[in-house]
Structure 1
């Protein structure tokens, strides 16, 4: 029975970037973590178990979810895996849309469904969905922004549906975070990168650890009265844009 196993947090996309920072922060607190990513990590920890799957595809996602649910007592889920897929309405393709919907929406739904029994049984289940400040609108991110906005809608609805089960569901909207994914879309010295830096109220780029600290807040068993919320970890770039 998985209930006899240690409580475990699943973090998708924890092989690198923000997901790795979240996983490492949890491990530092003595937690057991499962990483689910399309590539296996080049780092390890005694309390880390990694699984490999392409979360843009339904069948591999379902298979990985079933395997994890059968072998781990999942009491928290961080849906962090993401892909920017830059493109305007003139250049976006339905193939790209299908991939990003699969990753940002379908995988979130399938993993949540797979882990619901143990999330409910724990009495303090936690779900954190990694949205983006791009959900408020961002040029050249037509597919990305649409699906990240969809994650916020899913977060709010899940919070309403699962609150009576003791499960909280919240979202994080990172702004400019200095990860490999960010640098690929915003090369150092490029005009758009300078514009982004100039827009940050606190005068610096964010770090993966900044986002990890926000995730730890939502994941804490002590924070059961915060649900359905979006926390923008953005250095102030959403000021004047995000709703109060």
Structure 2
């Protein structure tokens, strides 16, 4: 098995953490970026970085690119700040777009020269089911839709380099943050479940499994695609029994 080294943003919890565990278990090197790097049991190197700070992010990424030969990057960091139409604050709107999009560009550009030189690389952008529409998600869904565009554009630009670019769009996933906002038995839980034909939430490891596949050796002919991992939420509603 060929061992690789991957960079993951937003790696300390949820999907990023589950992916780091999967990759490490498969023998790959993992470098994670997160606002807090206090968890000593991270399965790799976890670096503290404020990815909302453009200059700090640039500095951290330049240092990492000089220390590691990255074979791929998973752009997972993001933020959701719901605002319905009529109450959209433009500063908040801009901050959501910036945190979801700027680190994606910065991280990908930091690892790109090395991947080009080696003629092999993987970029996976974490989008969202909300690109298909969700109330109160003007900023977040716009950012996640932009990541789908990044994916398609970069896939075309890099098609002859040995570097693939794909997206994974999770549906409702039972991360720590999700459960904080939607505890068992809550109205929020019921609302989200009503849109999932499988009638259950995804688990972080299930999303991580899809990402791991797109990072792998056997996915080299897949590029520019968005894979929905959502319990059929993007397909439609299951018939009532």
Cα shift at 1:7: 3.9
* Deviation of 1:60 (Å): 1.2
CA contact (8 A) 1:132 1:173 kept: yes
Note if 1:195 corresponds to 2:194: no
Provide the residue aligned with 1:39 in structure 2: 36
Q: Give the corresponding residue for 1:17.
A: 14
Is 1:151 matched with 2:147? Answer: yes
TM-score norm. by structure 1 comes to: 0.91
Deviation for aligned residue 1:203: 2.2
Q: Provide the residue aligned with 1:3 in structure 2.
A: none
Q: Deviations over 1:79-106 (max 9, x none)?
A: 0111111221223322222222222111
Question: 1:68 is matched with which residue: 36, 43, 64?
Answer: 64
The reply on whether 1:207 has 2:203 as its aligned counterpart is yes
Q: Distance in 2 between matches of 1:143 and 1:93?
A: 10
Preserved CA contact (<8 Å) 2:197 2:236 = no
For structure 1, which segment, 133-142 or 35-44, has the greater mean C-alpha deviation from structure 2 after superposition?
Answer: 35-44
- Structure 1 moving runs of 4+ over 3 Å: none
Superposition pairs for residues 112-151 of structure 1, below 5 Å? Answer: 112-151=108-147
Q: CA RMSD in A?
A: 1.6
Aligned residues: 235
1:18-54 Cα distance to aligned partner (Å, 9 max, x none): 1000000000000000001111141435x61111111
Give unmatched runs, 5+ long, in structure 1: 1-5
The whole-number CA distance in structure 1 between the counterparts of 2:211 and 2:12 is 17
Give SS of 1:163's match.
Answer: coil
The TM-score, its normalising length taken from structure 2, stands at 0.92
